[in-house]
Amino acid sequence: MDWTGATNTPDFKHNATLNVYGAYTGIAGMTNSGNNSYLIFRNNSQTVNITFGAAFAGTHINFGSDSGVNLGNWTLLDTLVISLNQIAFYAGTLNTNGQIINCRNFLISLAHTKVLTTGASIINCSGTAGTGFDYTGTNLTLTANTATINISGTGTFTGGGITTYHDVNLNGTAHTISGSNTFNSFNLASGVTQTIKFTDGTTQTATTYELSGSAGHVHTLQGTGAAGWYLTKV
């Protein structure tokens, strides 16, 4: 699907599920609107580029099918703004290529083979409890490079025990961290009063921590129960 050369500020409006088997090129002058719809990228081992062109409203975006049949290879060439909705990565190879991603929930799920390379991407997740950065599947190979994951609101970070995430910043008022994860740096926002919960029995390992609050902003770190949790510095 290629919108190059389209005039008169077109509105790409779809209210169901649209499957794209190949490259996608949007343009900056377009509008992407929908009503809880899905734009699903499905390839058969092809390597394709994705240019979104404009922000999406009312649309969720999936890479790979939940059946695991379409193991495509996608490279992002521009910013993806889908602030109120979800990005789901189910199968194949996704290279965010240093691009900025704004979403409510970045979901990595199911047991299909997945390869995620982030480069210097900044991934902003504005989740509520139960959403944020959410790796709940298996068979993921992550190359985090120098990427930054920012979580705001009350979003969760479910890391799936990956080694190594690069920089993760928790910028909202309340966050829950699940899985025993490894980071280059793990940081809390000093100017925000925060309650940070760690799943009992887990260990977070980081080269650098910034956990301090500031005047009038207390950071409370606690477990989800009474079994204990651990922070380790390397």
Q: What is the pLDDT along the chain (234 residues), one digit of tens a residue?
A: 999 999 999 999 988 999 999 999 999 999 999 888 999 999 877 889 999 999 999 999 999 987 766 678 999 999 999 988 999 999 999 999 999 999 999 999 999 999 999 999 999 999 988 899 999 999 999 999 999 999 999 999 999 999 899 999 999 999 999 999 999 999 999 999 999 999 999 999 999 999 999 999 999 999 999 999 999 999
**What does the pLDDT look like over 187-197, one tens digit per residue?**
999 999 999 99
| Cβ atoms 56, 35 nearer than 8 A | no
Q: What pLDDT is recorded for position 164?
A: 92
Q: What pLDDT is recorded for position 69?
A: 67
- Burial call 123-149: b when 16+ CB within 10 Å, e when fewer: bbbbbeeebbbbbebeebebebeebbb
On whether the pTM is more than 0.85, the answer is yes
What's the CA gap between 112 and 107, in Å, rounded?
14
| Cβ atoms 160, 136 nearer than 8 A | yes
- Measured in whole angstroms, the distance separating CA 164 from the mean position of its chain's CA atoms is 15
The owner of tokens 């390992």 is 205
Percentage of the chain exceeding pLDDT 70: 99
Q: What pLDDT is recorded for position 70?
A: 63
Q: What pLDDT is recorded for position 67?
A: 78
Give the tokens for residue 127: 């989740």
For the chain, the residue count is 234
Q: What pLDDT is recorded for position 43?
A: 83
Q: What pLDDT is recorded for position 206?
A: 98
Burial class (CB in 10 A: 0-12, 13-18, 19+), 95: buried
Question: What is the overall mean pLDDT for the chain?
Answer: 94
